[in-house]
Amino acid sequence: MAEQDWLSARFAEHQKHLQAVAYRMLGSRSEAEDAVQEAWARVGRADTGQVENPGGWLTTVVARVCLNMMEARRSRPEDAAGALPPEPRTPQARVHPVAQADPEDEALLADSVGVALMVVLDTLAPAERLAFVLHDVFAVPFGEIGSIIDRSPAATRQLASRARRRVQGAVEASGPARSAKQETVAAFLAAARGGDFHALLDLLDPDAVAVGEFHGAEAVASFFAGRAQAARLALVDGEPAAVWTHHGVVKAVIGFTVQDGRITRIAVDTGPDRLRALDVVFLPASRKSRDE
């Protein structure tokens, strides 16, 4: 019973990370939830006596489940990465810590995964997608990824490289419009924090609406001038937005509708249930904002 309690506590501790891993691999929030639930069922039947790092082991378990799910929805047998054991192997030397990447690099990579990977999701073979996500986003070594997909480290590196080129192509194809919105939101936050009324007016459409109460650019600019001190630039489900947190918990998301370079609508969501379901990746301030 004590072992089960320990396992339940470790799983709860890493559940948010596991959900992020599954979501970035599968591109579907509902499928990610199913994958995490299946992973929990598997670890409940596994021998945890030799688990030295539960975060790394659980990441591996979720990765195996996701790979099985991706292979199951592929119709072409040549895309399969090979049979996997039905139960996770108890890790020994191959356990790894949950990666902590440089925040700015992680944000840029997550931008690619949150948006571009969704675009190319169906064009990547399951093994390619798993190698790219685990290595480029979560910094799992190629040797450990290879043990999941039954490939050598060199072959796994090639899979990740091929996937990276495809994702980069999607970034280049869809990036300018997304980057423009991101710059607009970042500029709005900078102007709001600095109380720059005229800069806010330049960014707002004359008929802009905010929080359902403020209509027109001047009213919206007046409301936000000097505010948003604690809001941070982020990608929310892949879209540029502003996020306010308290003690590390998301309390509010400010969403922006941008047309022709001007903000036409600003909405604030504070619903706890909705906020918990969002995929939030914090971004560094834009270069323009840092230089000003």
Q: Which domains does the chain have, with CATH numbers?
A: 2-83+102-174 (1.20.140.160), 177-291 (3.10.450.50)
Quick: pLDDT tens for 262-278: 999 999 999 888 888 77
DSSP state of 246: E
For residues 125 and 133, is the Cβ–Cβ distance under 8 A?
A: no
Region of residue 261 (left: phi > 0; alpha: psi -120 to 50; beta: else): left
Task: Specify the range with the lowest mean pLDDT, choosing from 78-92, 168-182, 226-240.
Answer: 78-92
Residue 47 confidence (pLDDT): 65
- Helix, strand, coil percentages (3-state) for the chain, rounded to 5, are 60, 15, 25
User: What are the structure tokens assigned to 37, written together?
Assistant: 């639930």
Task: Specify the range with the lowest mean pLDDT, choosing from 15-19, 193-197, 214-218, 247-251.
Answer: 247-251
Residue 152 confidence (pLDDT): 94
For residues 90 and 56, is the Cβ–Cβ distance under 8 A?
A: no
Q: Average the pLDDT over 138-151 and give the result.
A: 89
Mean pLDDT, the chain, rounded, equals 76
User: What are the structure tokens assigned to 290, written together?
Assistant: 């840092």
For residues 204 and 256, is the Cβ–Cβ distance under 8 A?
A: no
Tallying the residues shown for the chain, one arrives at 292
Residue 140 confidence (pLDDT) above 70: yes
Q: Give the Cα separation of 19 and 204 in Å (integer).
A: 36
Q: Give the Cα separation of 90 and 262 in Å (integer).
A: 54
Residue 169 confidence (pLDDT) above 70: no
Residue 288 confidence (pLDDT) above 70: no
Residue 10 confidence (pLDDT) above 60: yes
* String of DSSP letters for 106-153: HHHHHHIIIIIHHHHGGGS-HHHHHHHIIIIIT---HHHHHHHHT--H
Residue corresponding to tokens 């996770």: 88
- CA-nearest of 115, 131, 113, 258 to 183 is 258
For residues 255 and 239, is the Cβ–Cβ distance under 8 A?
A: yes
For residues 88 and 42, is the Cβ–Cβ distance under 8 A?
A: yes
pTM of model > 0.85:
no
**Which helix or strand (DSSP H or E) is residue 249 part of?**
strand 249-259
Q: Pairing state of beta strands 204-210 and 280-282?
A: unpaired
Residue 99 confidence (pLDDT) above 70: no
- CA-nearest of 22, 163, 148 to 81 is 148
